[in-house]
Every structure is written in structure tokens, then in C-alpha cells.
Amino acid sequence: MDFPSDAELIEKFRQGQTESFNILVWRWQNRLLNFLYRYLGNRTEAEDICQMTFLKAFQKLKRLQDTQKFSTWLYRIALNQARDFFRRKRNRPVFSLHQTFGEDSDGTLEAVLATDSQPAPDVNLQHKEMQVILQQSLQKISEDQRAVIVLKIFDGLKFSEIADILKIPEGTAKTRLYTGLKSLRTVLEQSHLDKEVWKS
């Protein structure tokens, strides 16, 4: 059985079949929630912003011109909502970095988080300690760099997709990733974790 594409569901929605939007939510909510959770570092806040994202998407979907780019459009709404949240909140939350990286990642940070299927307790504790320091370190680099790192390393998006979401040139997205990782390494050096994290 062939499932309808996002574009087909959007067309049905525009024809008055509002239940088609429910399928879009079902299809994208977990991935979007994971993105927001990693970006915000708080499950409850991520859930709230995820709901707000889909509400705005419901309100604006009929005006979306390129239905083939629904996913990047949805990410853009989510990211804008998250940025608005950061502006309203004086103390920014930490990232959650315990999720695995997308297969598109270059493995730069993966060595820190990779664990055996049944890691020894001392190894597990060591990884948790490094995750806390990584979370704190990510808060010390620019928001623009953090956004690209989360989108690229965690969600495994292509640079072209990241550029579309952030409305920046693809070259700028690449520069932000590499300068962001460089900035992160500098911060980690202060925690004496750089040799652990930046293994070749």
C-alpha cells in the first residue's frame, strides 16, 4: 500500500479534508519533538513549542507555495518558535546530547556519546559527566552556530536543507558548522575534555 506524500496530504487539506493534517502531524511530530528537545534541552518546553509549531503550520499551510519543501518549512517554523522562546527566557536551558547522531554526521562528537549495548557502570558515568560538560559548553557558542550543529549532526540534514531552513547561503551553513565546532573545541579545552572528544 502506497502512503500519500506530504504534498498530496497538503493538497487534500486545501480541498477541505482537514484530517489530512492529522496525518502530517503523526508523520512529523516525533522527529520535530526530538529536534526541539535537543535544541532546548527541556522535554516539557519542547512539547509546548512543538504544539505551537503545528498550530502555526495549520494556520499557514494553505499559503505554502512549494509543498515539496514542507519539511524544511516546518523546521523553520519550529526554529523560529524556539528562538522566540530563547529571547523570552533569560536563562537559556542546556542541550541534551545523549541522543545518537544522524548517519550523515562526520562522527566528530560521536565518540563521546557512543556506548556499548551494555556499558560498564563506570563508563556510563564517565559519558554522563562528559555530556553535562558538552551541554554547558554548547551554551557558550553562538546561537547561529548551535542551530547548524543541531540540524546537521543530530538530524543529519543536508547543508542545502539547513540553508533553506535558516534562509542563508549553503556556504554560510558550512562555515557556521565548522566554526561552531572549532568554537566548541576551544570551550572544551578549558574543561580538559578536548582530547576525549576530538579523537581522530
10 Å CB burial of residue 40 (0-12, 13-18, 19+) is buried
Residue pLDDT, tens place only, 91-109: 544 444 444 333 344 444 4
| CA–CA distance, 55 with 53 (Å, rounded to integer) | 5
| Cβ contacts of 55 within 8 Å, gap of 6 or more | none
CATH for the stretch 97-200: 1.10.10.10
CATH for the stretch 1-93: 1.10.1740.10
Averaged pLDDT score across all residues of the chain:
79
Q: Give 67's DSSP letter.
A: G
Q: Could you tell me the pLDDT band of residue 200, with boundaries at 50, 70 and 90? A: very low
Q: Could you tell me the pLDDT band of residue 41, with boundaries at 50, 70 and 90? A: confident
Q: Could you tell me the pLDDT band of residue 39, with boundaries at 50, 70 and 90? A: confident
| CA–CA distance, 117 with 121 (Å, rounded to integer) | 12
- Domains of the chain: which residue ranges? 1-93, 97-200
Cell of 171: 556556504
Q: Could you tell me the pLDDT band of residue 121, with boundaries at 50, 70 and 90? A: low
pLDDT of residue 14: 92
Per the CB < 8 A criterion, the answer to whether 96 and 139 are in contact is no
Amino acid letter, 144: D
Cell of 103: 548517519
| CA–CA distance, 86 with 126 (Å, rounded to integer) | 30
